[in-house]
């Protein structure tokens, strides 16, 4: 099945030539503005089939809070819960604090043996209280 859509944006009251949209269609609903935003997107591969991607959007009007959407694409690792996306709303000026929090919690988890250190994937680490010495 193929569906075709057309979007016409004009700053005048006459539609472009060839348009099947007539101005002032009786019974048509009026235009309701949505919102505009600035966006940055990026991703990082995690193996041959997996990828983390993120979109950071800031509205053009309003309080300028950051909307951060993070998605994981690809097969879910064995035993991991299927949570494909997470969304955060970060108040203006607090993005660096959230990054500091994430870096800090990962570093602490590695120090405490909750996570393995980079390069040691697959090798379990004994918790600090169980290690000799």
Residue count of the chain: 133
Per residue in 68-101, pLDDT tens?
999 999 988 788 888 889 999 999 899 999 999 9
pLDDT at 110 over 80: yes
Q: What is the pLDDT confidence band of residue 13, given thresholds at 50, 70 and 90?
A: low
- Name the pTM for this structure: 0.60
Q: Where are the domains of the chain?
A: 37-92, 94-133
Q: Assign 47 to helix, strand or coil.
A: coil
Torsion angle (degrees, nearest 10) of CA 96, 37, 3, 42: -30
* Predicted local distance difference test score (pLDDT) of residue 19: 58
Task: Give phi and psi for 55, each to the nearest 5.
Answer: -130, 130
């Amino acid at each position: 099945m193929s569906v075709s859509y057309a979007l016409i944006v004009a700053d005048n009251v006459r539609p472009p030539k060839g348009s099947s949209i007539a101005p002032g269609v009786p019974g048509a609903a009026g235009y309701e503005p949505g919102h505009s935003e600035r966006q940055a997107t990026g991703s990082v591969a995690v193996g041959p089939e997996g990828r983390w991607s993120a979109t950071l959007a800031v509205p053009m009007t309003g309080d300028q809070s950051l909307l951060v959407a993070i998605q994981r694409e690809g097969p879910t690792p064995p035993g991991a819960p299927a949570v494909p996306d997470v969304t955060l709303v970060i108040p203006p000026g607090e993005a660096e604090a959230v990054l500091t929090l994430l870096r800090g919690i990962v570093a602490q988890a590695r120090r405490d043996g909750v996570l393995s250190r980079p390069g040691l994937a697959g090798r379990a680490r004994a918790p600090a209280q169980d290690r000799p010495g």
